[in-house]
Amino acid sequence: MSAAETLASSVRADAPPAISLKGVNKWFGALHVLRDVNLDVAMGERVVVCGPSGSGKSTLIRCINRLEEHQEGQIIVDGIELSNDLRSLDAIRREVGMVFQSFNLFPHLTILENCTLAPIWVRKMPKKEAEELAMEYLTRVRIPEQANKYPGQLSGGQQQRVAIARALCMKPKIMLFDEPTSALDPEMIKEVLDTMIMLAETGMTMICVTHEMGFARTVADRVIFMDRGEIVESGEPQSLFNNPQTERLQTFLSQILRGH
């Protein structure tokens, strides 16, 4: 990581939380994947979630935009409680953008079409306006010249930056990242992290599942460590990484430090 100093925090603690989870439980069949998860994320807060594979990190953030349904507890996003009501689902999906580990760009559409699809069809934006918006975000992630190519013609790092631009085109209030750099070759990780840092500087509320400790130290207001479906520890990145309180976090940190 090049940027050593942390970003100025833009957390607005006085405002109601952007995301609030109370006593959330989820099972896959008999498998208890989220156990009594309580979490409040303030507007503008940047949260990094880490933890061993299979600990429920993906499930946690997928519950926040209801790609998964939770069975117990309450999840409130931007003042809207998640329920089976389709209208609330629509509202949530407009407010929350998501970036996946495997990019999930639409391969049959050009980069520009990938970005304008949702604004046109969900936000009912005129095509021309949507294209201008898309070009603006593609410029921000520094790939405007690829607009008319297809995803398959781009490198992994470029595809992930398009995926970020695509999510941003919906003007979400909250962005979720599920291991956005895990599928990338090492030389491409930095370009994606830089894009995410740039996004953090704009004051976006972000939850990132990532094991990039440098990124967590630079950007995160708070790091959450999950293990076996529970939030085991949470705190500021410096204190959490430097003074892990639990043995589970110590083991985890020593493992990923060895890995890097």
The site for Mg ion (CB under 5 A) is made up of 58
Residue 185 interacting with another protein (CB under 8 A): no
CB-nearer residue toward another protein: 161 or 166: 166
Q: Tell me the H-state helices in the chain.
A: 57-64, 86-95, 111-121, 127-140, 156-168, 186-201, 213-219, 237-242, 247-259
Distance between CA 86 and CA 1 in Å, rounded? Answer: 42
Candidates 54, 50, 58; CA nearest to 31 is 54
Binding residue for ligand ADP, selected from 15, 16, 23, 28, defined by CB under 6 A: 28
Sole window of 47-55, 124-132, 180-188, 193-201 interacting with ligand ADP (rule: CB under 6 A): 47-55
Distance between CA 225 and CA 239 in Å, rounded? Answer: 13
Fill in the per-residue mask, 55 to 94: x = in contact with another protein (CB under 8 A), - = not in contact: ----------x-x----------------------x--xx
Residue 257 interacting with another protein (CB under 8 A): no
Structure tokens at 185: 């070759």
Count of chain residues binding ligand ADP (CB under 6 A): 11
Sole window of 22-30, 35-43, 117-125, 213-221 interacting with another protein (rule: CB under 8 A): 117-125
Binding residue for another protein, selected from 63, 167, 193, 204, defined by CB under 8 A: 167
Count Cα atoms within 13 angstroms, Cβ side, for 156.
14
Amino acid at 256: I
Binding residues for ligand ADP, per CB under 6 A? 28, 31, 33, 51, 53-59
